[in-house]
Amino acid sequence: MLGAWGAWRTSHYVAAGALAAGMLAWAAHEAWPSRELPVALPIVVTSAYDDWTDTLGRREMLSDVLERAGITGREYVSFMKATHALNPRRLQPGLIFEIRRLKGAAVASRLGVRLDPERRLWMTRLAGDSGWKEIVEEIPWTTERLRTTAIIQSNLYDALDAAIPDSFLPLRQRVALAWAIADVYDWEVDFTRDLRPGDRVEVLIERLQSPEGERRFGRILAARVDVAGSPSLAFAYEKSFYDERGRSLRRAFLRAPLRYRHISSRFGGRYHPILRRWRSHQGTDYAAGYGTPVRATADGTVSMVGRNGGYGNVVEIRHANGIRTRYGHLSKFAKGLRVGQRIGQEQTIGYVGSTGLSTGPHLHYEFLVNGRPTNPRRKDFGAGEPVAAKLKAAFDSVRVQLLAELVPTNVPAASPALGAAAARDD
């Protein structure tokens, strides 16, 4: 429930205030959010234009919106000829068009539409019946660095949800951030079962804001996750993530055979023994919906595909060092999967089901060392590739900077909540 926010530009920390009855403290750069926006007195003009917005309805086509703007027949043809950015087959219902028309005119003189998060399109009708002109404008998102601390109560989603106010990132972005954090730690942390109440997740992200006030996160720059009390650090460098010693977070084995983003938040918490276990059960069960893709946790060779008693539809993969992995109760196998086939880490091998001795859709996963089912531990997965020697010095200076922003030592105790959270570091 505790959350602390800081915002940095360069490495400067500016305290701005505390919110939410001391449960949540935040600090922000002076540029955001400004409580008192300058308000100019209204200037009255007799506009030569009518401006309005129109929305693409369900089962509507672009031509329907254009027709309402008077762009039909020859105008429609010349409009479509002029645009390359607007693909009428890829427009989503709900898309908003800004339309401007000269008072008294039949045909719109300008039409604006947001193509995607990065671009806005302006179509302008040229004078003298000489067609339309297309201009694609880049949306100038501004970037800030923000840090948050989320304390696990039940799961990562809920922890981020509690730590990050809507005014910083909307709900969908908070969920996407949980997915992105889980992806960074795919080889290191199984967020469905490794975390315990009280564990901390700290993350330094880029937060982007558009002139319209939309907010989303950009890159994850650094993170620290306490896994049963032991910290695991991640620093973004050259499109990969490395630990504090400069070793890649990528390992021989993924921590879990299902992607965290494919497990609903309802099941995202700690392990639920929701299923009656069959005799001699020696694996890990992941509750997930029918058809959820199951991925190989490491490179290997398929050693079995088929039906096998209590396992139902099962795939077994042989890996290096006498390790095998087994994936049971599948609803179906990946197309064309066969014994002897080489499989890469993260490759989809089948889909979650409830075949065999199973009372509901779930994946049964076994990690076998020399034929014995074993509880995989982090140390079994080996060390990641280190940063190239010639880049080590550059990496180290990035790491030092990121660490200072991720775990600042001089955070003002802005509220009891923040103080309590900080005290946990000791």
Q: Which residues bind Zn ion (CB under 5 A)?
A: 283, 285, 364
In degrees and rounded to multiples of 5, residue 129 shows phi and psi of 60, 25
The C-alpha atoms of residue 234 and residue 241 are separated, in whole angstroms, by 6
The C-alpha atoms of residue 90 and residue 184 are separated, in whole angstroms, by 31
Minimum CB separation of residue 237 from Zn ion in Å reads: 38
Q: Considering beta carbons, is residue 105 or 274 the nearer one to Zn ion?
A: 274
Q: Considering beta carbons, is residue 119 or 277 the nearer one to Zn ion?
A: 277
Minimum CB separation of residue 270 from Zn ion in Å reads: 16
3-state class (DSSP) for residue 68: helix
Q: Which two tokens stand for residue 15?
A: 């305290």
Rounded to 5°, the CA angle 302-306-311 comes to 105
Minimum CB separation of residue 28 from Zn ion in Å reads: 47
Q: Considering beta carbons, is residue 285 or 405 the nearer one to Zn ion?
A: 285
Q: Considering beta carbons, is residue 257 or 283 the nearer one to Zn ion?
A: 283
Q: Considering beta carbons, is residue 114 or 364 the nearer one to Zn ion?
A: 364
Instruction: Tell me which residue has tokens 């105790």.
Output: 413
Minimum CB separation of residue 252 from Zn ion in Å reads: 23
- Residue whose Cβ sits closest to Zn ion: 364
Residue whose C-alpha is closest to residue 257's, from 210, 213, 300: 300
Minimum CB separation of residue 281 from Zn ion in Å reads: 5
Q: Considering beta carbons, is residue 319 or 364 the nearer one to Zn ion?
A: 364
Q: Considering beta carbons, is residue 25 or 263 the nearer one to Zn ion?
A: 263
Q: Considering beta carbons, is residue 174 or 364 the nearer one to Zn ion?
A: 364
Residue whose C-alpha is closest to residue 269's, from 370, 199, 168: 199
Minimum CB separation of residue 185 from Zn ion in Å reads: 24
Minimum CB separation of residue 199 from Zn ion in Å reads: 25
Instruction: Tell me which residue has tokens 């809920």.
Output: 158
Rounded to 5°, the CA angle 224-225-228 comes to 145
Q: Considering beta carbons, is residue 219 or 281 the nearer one to Zn ion?
A: 281
Minimum CB separation of residue 363 from Zn ion in Å reads: 8
- Taking CB atoms within 8 Å and a gap of at least 24, the contacts of 63-68 are 63/88, 65/97, 66/111
What value does the CA radius of gyration of the chain take, rounded to a whole number of Å? 27
Is the separation of the CB atoms in 101 and 50 below 8 Å? yes
3-state class (DSSP) for residue 21: helix
Minimum CB separation of residue 312 from Zn ion in Å reads: 11
Q: How many CA atoms lie within 13 A of 81 on its CB side?
A: 10
Q: Helices then strands (H, E): number in the chain?
A: 6, 24
Is the separation of the CB atoms in 26 and 18 below 8 Å? yes
Residue whose C-alpha is closest to residue 223's, from 50, 36, 399, 406: 406
Residue whose C-alpha is closest to residue 330's, from 367, 296, 305, 363: 363
Where residue 231 falls (left for φ over 0; alpha for ψ -120 to 50; beta otherwise) is: beta
Minimum CB separation of residue 57 from Zn ion in Å reads: 47
Q: Considering beta carbons, is residue 5 or 365 the nearer one to Zn ion?
A: 365
